[in-house]
Chains A and B, each alone.
Chain A
Amino acid sequence: MSGEPLMTLHDLQVRFPVGKDWLGRTNEQVHALNGVDLDIREGETLGVVGESGCGKTTLAQVLIGLVEPSGGRIRRRDGEGRPGPGRMQIVFQDPQSSLDPRLPVWRIIAEPLMIQRRGLGRAELRRAAAEAAAQVEIPADYLDRFPHEFSGGQRQRIAIARALISQPEVILLDEPTSALDISVQAQILNLLNELQRRRSLTFILISHNVSVVRHMSDRVAVMYLGQIVELGPTEAVLGAPRHPYTALLLESLPRLGVPVAGEVLANGTELPSNRILPSGCFFRDRCPLAQAGCERPQVLQPRPGAGPEHAVRCHLKVT
């Protein structure tokens, strides 16, 4: 891995207008991303975990260009702004809806090339599609079939082939296995690891499934209400979490053989609304360790006792 990161996000913010007053001015907004600072290093797999409402989907949409940021900057190693379409590709969560049901599979796989390199003939596109399909172990004689003739796992492979065909630097994986069975998930994860080794790809893996993220990622970012609350090497963040939210998340994970324990809570079980942001630390209302000092907004930075790579958005001293 070379020194400078491939991409850096500085204080990225995204707000969506949801309410307008009678004059047409926006009077209510959804604050999806509230200052995300992140660097993406070449060749790594960066995992992003969080629950619904944390903003990880919006982060994916900003990176891939479906949504424009309302604030902050994205810087690349070779320029400003997000990467162009050929340099970063996405694999969506739902293999059913991410493939056009009325197009044959070779045409779906070849679509990025068709758009980005005009003038490629049909035969050339087919050949490129066949090559990409071979990488994901879809036999060449299946290429004329339609998506509904494939299983979920196969469709996800087709989506991966499509993401590979324009030889991107970074692949964004948005919940790539959440819609798949456990046994199929295992196959897809193995495939992704294999591809990364062979082609030196950089992955950004967004998922709510902590065990998948733990397995695949070199570094992990934990998101809460549009901010990163903890960022660092996987074993550190998921093995010895420093932020109370990460701790809560890990504690809630079902573990094989461990009966579910705890008390049913009436309040404080869900994310606060992102329309009106809480003051100070966003996690304050749910945090068992909330105390004086938490009413100030917290900063994401390395803390004493954790490694220099391990940043936490919490002022509390953790032993």
Chain B
Amino acid sequence: MAIALAAETAVPVPAGHPLGYFWYRVRQSPLTLAGLAIILVVLAVMLLAPLLAPHDPNLVDLEHRLLPPSATYWFGTDEVGRDLFSRILFGSRQSVSVALFVVPVAGVLGSLLGSFSGSVGGAADTVIMRATDIVMSVPSLVLTMALAAALGPSLFNAMLAITVVRIPFYVRLARGQALLIRELNYTKAARTFGASRWHLVRWHVLRNALPPIIVQATLDVGGTILMAAALGFIGLGAQQPTAEWGAMVATGRNYILDQWWYSAFPGCAILVTAMGCNLFGDGLRDLLDPRQKGR
């Protein structure tokens, strides 16, 4: 007996181009939109700094030291007469590149390790978990500083230090996802077909663990920028004369009473960038929620 099957779909598949639909969803949340806007602006600044900066960020001009914000020097000047606005523009390169290095590297390494750990279980899982426990038990900033100091003050070493400290976070996250996915019916179904553990990880765990990890990673960008700034603040990041937001805030401390602009503007830059990443990351989590598909 033939069973008629009408050509219908259950969930309304959004009509039109997927990018159009994505844009529709983002539009629905003003905060997410704001976050996205900030991120795009910061990226633009990073790429176009040479074109946007009105002055050479490293040009020393002792006659114009510590000038307040004016028409020529929009954010004022620092103690050797360099234009703060241009330095902030160029400083974005240091801070953002730290995040762009740390988050993908820590994310990928941590996720692979965590997925493996959660899927395999047993002794390997225990060893990996205890190792991450040890790393996480030291306050992250202290550990980062210690590592960076041990490796030597430079931007690259700062990046390495932050990466090492962030990896356990992703290991835990991925492991949690792996444990969850292991219990889902489609993974159990694959086990009933005789799937090997590797097959389960490769085909089911990794793919499905990715969205929450991506969301966390986006939120992590803000945190990484703050950490890089903190390292710069204590002199372990990019070295002078390279402009770097954290270092600028640190140096500005000495002048904060009379020349408030020196610390304030770089501080605002850090704040705005981190906040933009957080807002967008929050919105991304809602966007990627499969229950919202089609709405």
- A-to-B contact residues, CB < 8 Å: 64-66, 84-86, 89-90, 92, 94, 97-103, 108, 111-112, 115-116, 137-139, 148-152, 154, 162, 166, 187, 190-191, 194
Judged by a CB distance under 8 angstroms, whether B8 is at the interface is: yes
Chosen A-B contacts, 28 in total, with CB atoms closer than 8 Å, are A65-B191, A85-B194, A89-B193, A90-B189, A98-B185, A98-B186, A100-B186, A100-B187, A100-B207, A101-B290, A102-B207, A111-B190, A111-B193, A112-B194, A115-B190, A115-B193, A115-B194, A115-B196, A115-B199, A116-B193, A116-B194, A137-B2, A138-B5, A148-B10, A149-B13, A150-B9, A151-B10, A166-B193
Question: In the complex, are the beta carbons of B185 and A97 less than 8 A apart?
Answer: yes
CB distance from A138 to the nearest CB of B (A): 7
Answer whether A84 and B189 are a contact pair too, CB < 8 Å, given A148-B10, A151-B8: no
Interface string of B201-213 (1 = CB under 8 A from A): 0011001100000
- A86, A103, A152: the one contacting B203 at CB < 8 Å is A103
Question: In the complex, are the beta carbons of A149 and B10 less than 8 A apart?
Answer: yes
Q: Which residues on the A side are within 8 Å of B5 (C-beta)?
A: 137-139, 154
Question: In the complex, are the beta carbons of A97 and B184 less than 8 A apart?
Answer: yes
Q: Which residues on the B side are within 8 Å of A90 (C-beta)?
A: 189, 192
Judged by a CB distance under 8 angstroms, whether B1 is at the interface is: yes
CB distance from A7 to the nearest CB of B (A): 16
Judged by a CB distance under 8 angstroms, whether B195 is at the interface is: yes
Question: In the complex, are the beta carbons of A98 and B192 less than 8 A apart?
Answer: no
Judged by a CB distance under 8 angstroms, whether B3 is at the interface is: yes
Interface string of B191-234 (1 = CB under 8 A from A): 11111100100011001100000000000000000000000000
Q: Which residues on the B side are within 8 Å of A85 (C-beta)?
A: 192-194
Q: Which residues on the A side are within 8 Å of B187 (C-beta)?
A: 100
Please name the residue on chain A nearest to B210 by beta carbon. Answer: A102
Question: In the complex, are the beta carbons of B11 and A115 less than 8 A apart?
Answer: no
Bound form: Cα–Cα A89–B190 in Å: 10
Question: In the complex, are the beta carbons of B208 and A100 less than 8 A apart?
Answer: yes
CB distance from A194 to the nearest CB of B (A): 6
- A92, A101, A116, A150: the one contacting B208 at CB < 8 Å is A101
Please name the residue on chain B nearest to A84 by beta carbon. Answer: B194
Bound form: Cα–Cα A89–B192 in Å: 7
Judged by a CB distance under 8 angstroms, whether B27 is at the interface is: no
Answer whether A66 and B3 are a contact pair too, CB < 8 Å, given A149-B10, A150-B10: no
CB distance from A276 to the nearest CB of B (A): 27
- B-to-A contact residues, CB < 8 Å: 1-3, 5, 7-11, 13, 184-196, 199, 203-204, 207-208, 290, 293
Given contacts A111-B190, A138-B5, A191-B3, 7 further A-B contacts (CB under 8 A): A65-B191, A98-B185, A100-B186, A149-B9, A151-B8, A151-B10, A190-B1
Bound form: Cα–Cα A138–B8 in Å: 11
Question: In the complex, are the beta carbons of A100 and B293 less than 8 A apart?
Answer: no
Question: In the complex, are the beta carbons of A100 and B192 less than 8 A apart?
Answer: no
Question: In the complex, are the beta carbons of A65 and B10 less than 8 A apart?
Answer: no
Question: In the complex, are the beta carbons of B190 and A148 less than 8 A apart?
Answer: no
Most buried by B among A64, A65, A115, A150: A115
CB distance from A3 to the nearest CB of B (A): 29
Bound form: Cα–Cα A89–B191 in Å: 11
CB distance from B288 to the nearest CB of A (A): 12
Q: Which residues on the B side are within 8 Å of A86 (C-beta)?
A: 194
Question: In the complex, are the beta carbons of B186 and A194 less than 8 A apart?
Answer: no
Please name the residue on chain A nearest to B6 by beta carbon. Answer: A151
Please name the residue on chain A nearest to B195 by beta carbon. Answer: A115
Bound form: Cα–Cα A166–B187 in Å: 18
Question: In the complex, are the beta carbons of B191 and A66 less than 8 A apart?
Answer: yes
Closest 4 pairs (CB-CB, A-B)? A85-B194, A151-B10, A112-B193, A97-B185
Please name the residue on chain B nearest to A85 by beta carbon. Answer: B194
Question: In the complex, are the beta carbons of A149 and B186 less than 8 A apart?
Answer: no
Q: Which residues on the B side are within 8 Å of A101 (C-beta)?
A: 186, 208, 290
Most buried by B among A86, A112, A190: A112
Question: In the complex, are the beta carbons of B290 and A148 less than 8 A apart?
Answer: yes
Bound form: Cα–Cα A108–B5 in Å: 20
Question: In the complex, are the beta carbons of B10 and A100 less than 8 A apart?
Answer: no
Q: Which residues on the B side are within 8 Å of A162 (C-beta)?
A: 189
Q: Which residues on the B side are within 8 Å of A191 (C-beta)?
A: 3
Q: Which residues on the A side are within 8 Å of B9 (C-beta)?
A: 149-151
Question: In the complex, are the beta carbons of A65 and B192 less than 8 A apart?
Answer: yes
Bound form: Cα–Cα A53–B166 in Å: 45
Please name the residue on chain B nearest to A174 by beta carbon. Answer: B185
Most buried by A among B185, B189, B192, B195: B189
- A92, A99, A102, A194: the one contacting B1 at CB < 8 Å is A194
Q: Which residues on the B side are within 8 Å of A154 (C-beta)?
A: 5, 10
Q: Which residues on the A side are within 8 Å of B196 (C-beta)?
A: 115
Bound form: Cα–Cα A145–B192 in Å: 24
Most buried by B among A97, A102, A194: A102
Please name the residue on chain B nearest to A187 by beta carbon. Answer: B3
Question: In the complex, are the beta carbons of A190 and B194 less than 8 A apart?
Answer: no
Bound form: Cα–Cα A26–B184 in Å: 27
Most buried by A among B8, B187, B192: B192
Bound form: Cα–Cα A190–B9 in Å: 21
Bound form: Cα–Cα A190–B13 in Å: 29
Q: Which residues on the B side are within 8 Å of A92 (C-beta)?
A: 185, 188-189
Bound form: Cα–Cα A62–B218 in Å: 43
Please name the residue on chain A nearest to B186 by beta carbon. Answer: A100
Q: Which residues on the B side are within 8 Å of A94 (C-beta)?
A: 185
CB distance from A180 to the nearest CB of B (A): 12
CB distance from A63 to the nearest CB of B (A): 10
